Amino acid sequence: MNVKLFRRSDQKAELNISSAMQRKISWTYSTIKPAIWITLNGWISIVFLVCLIIWPHNDYVMSIDTFDKIFGSKRNDFLVIHMIIVFILHEYFWYHFLLEVIHYKSAMNDFFINNWQYDDQQLSPQHRNYLIQFFRKSQFMAVIFLRCFIIGLLAIQFIFSNFSFDLFESYQINLTKLVLSSTLFFSYNIQCIYFIGNVFKSISFTVFIMEFFIVRLKQLSSKSALILQNSFQSSIKVQKLFWYRFHYEYVTLYSEMAIFNLTARNILFFIELLSKSSVVICLLFISQQTKMNIQITFVALAFILYFRVAHMPSYNRICWLSIHRWIARTQWLSMQRNVFTNSFPLRYSLKSRLFVQTMTNNLFGFTCGRMFFISKFKYIQIFLFINDYHNNVSTIRILPNRLECLYVVTATWSFHVCGICESNFHILMTYPSIENAEIKFCIRRGFEIIKFYNLRINYDLFDYQQRKISWTYSTIKPAIWITLNGWISIVFLVCLIIWPHNDYVMSIDIFDEIVGSQRNDFIGRPRKSRGLVQSRLEKREA
């Protein structure tokens, strides 16, 4: 599991595994260089979005009305507000993960340290091949989706630049708005690419870690089932030996999962917030459109993708079912021993029953932040809550038929995902075995991804373990530039809402024309845009 995935996505820093193990991370410029640039770009995007909201009409960037004209859609201010929420949450969780690394309390890094030299012999060949194929296929799909998204954003950037230049030639915007809006919008697209890369690659690796725990628990359950079948033929010494071994493996697995859950619960909480805001904004945005063109369809499909990603942690349901199967088998075995043989020592019987009760009370899985433990019951409860919101949303506006269909498809898909992933996912992931691949390489690849996307800093895991991370410019450079670009994008979007008509960036009306939707403004009064082509024809006739 390659660790570049985690450290690049979650920490935005270049860390080394040996430095983290020695707890001697060198905080040089090379270590923090990703954090500097990614964070800088992120905050530039945030400031840009905030300016679109707070100052919709200003002299520096185009207003939200201009964006409405460019994109040919209405109420793009809803999208701006949603992206502000997403970017701010993204920066907040990055800051949280970075503090854990600085204070050497990162649960994810502890997982990497414990499994850096993982022995594949601990897994059966079938489970080992399944995990390797799971990692390869999930990362392959993540890369494909990310490239498709990048192509789409580049196309939007090209359309935006083309229409902006046409508006400049027709004297609808000045040179300052053309240059500043194009620059900020490009920074915003860069931040979107980084964020989507985090969603696809980092979260897919997190799901792989969850599957890694589930497979280990399944293998433990298989061992328990095998000893249960031969329980009457085995001697008490063999049964005691098995019980001690099972108890040790179970406690070790539970402790590792509990430690990993300290990081996973924050990721799941971020996904939960993202999914809820995406559903609300999707309902409000699409309900304001008078026509459904290809640009609006792309936005709707993006929201469906976010909603689907929010239910990826449902794989822990498999872990929950495995625990209860083990409890049932243990109780049955104890009953058979008491009825027939009654030769098993009483103290071992009491210890086993107490251990079963402890397993029943254990929350062997993952939590969503500090709010709730993720289970199928909670999943259905959230689904019913969204359905109730959908029934009451008519107080805002009667939704079009296309939105009804969109919601039904999205809700139905997400509602059945728990059962589908358990019953059919093992069929989809069945591929020929790979002899030379190892689990530890997948872990190390995941560390690189998490380090870039989640931390935005460049450090070594050996320095982290030794508490000697060198905080130089090379260490925090990714965090600086990524965070800066993110906040620039946020400020740009806020400016579109607050100052929709200004002398520096295009208004939201121009974005409406480009996208092909309507009502991109949020604070300003809704108005009809005649369209860019129609206005040019009228000017030529005049």
Q: Which has the higher per-residue pLDDT, 174 or 229?
A: 174
pLDDT single digits (tens) 60-73: 766 677 766 666 66
Q: What is the structure's pLDDT at 195?
A: 79
**Average pLDDT over the chain, rounded to whole?**
64
The full set of domain ranges for the chain reads: 3-111+133-541
Quick check: 23 pLDDT over 80? no
Residue 414's nearest CA partner among 495, 328, 308, 490 is 308
Q: Return d(Cα 158, Cα 174) in angstroms, integer.
A: 19
Query: Model confidence over 298-337: pLDDT tens digits?
Result: 344 444 444 544 444 444 444 445 445 555 565 565 566 5
User: What is residue 43's predicted lDDT score, i.e. its pLDDT?
Assistant: 76
Q: What angle do CA 263, 14, 109 make, to 5 degrees?
A: 30
Q: What is the pLDDT of residue 224?
A: 63
Please say whether the beta carbons of 34 and 452 come within 8 A. yes
Higher pLDDT, 147 or 362: 147
Q: Which stretches within 40-75 are classed as H helix?
A: 43-54, 64-71
Is the pLDDT score of 537 beyond 50?
no
pLDDT-above-70 percentage for the chain: 49
Contact (CB, 8 A) for 108 and 263: yes
**What number of CA atoms fall less than 13 Å from residue 353's CA on the CB side?**
13
Residue 404's pLDDT band (cuts 50, 70, 90): very low
- Residue 130 scores a pLDDT above 80: yes
List, for residues 160-219, the tens digit of each pLDDT value: 777 777 777 777 777 777 777 777 778 778 878 887 777 777 777 877 887 787 778 777
More confident residue, 48 or 23: 48
Q: Which residue has the higher pLDDT, 49 or 529?
A: 49
Q: Give the Cα separation of 443 and 445 in Å (integer).
A: 5
| Model pLDDT, residue 155 | 79
Task: Note the pTM of the prediction, 2 decimals.
Answer: 0.57
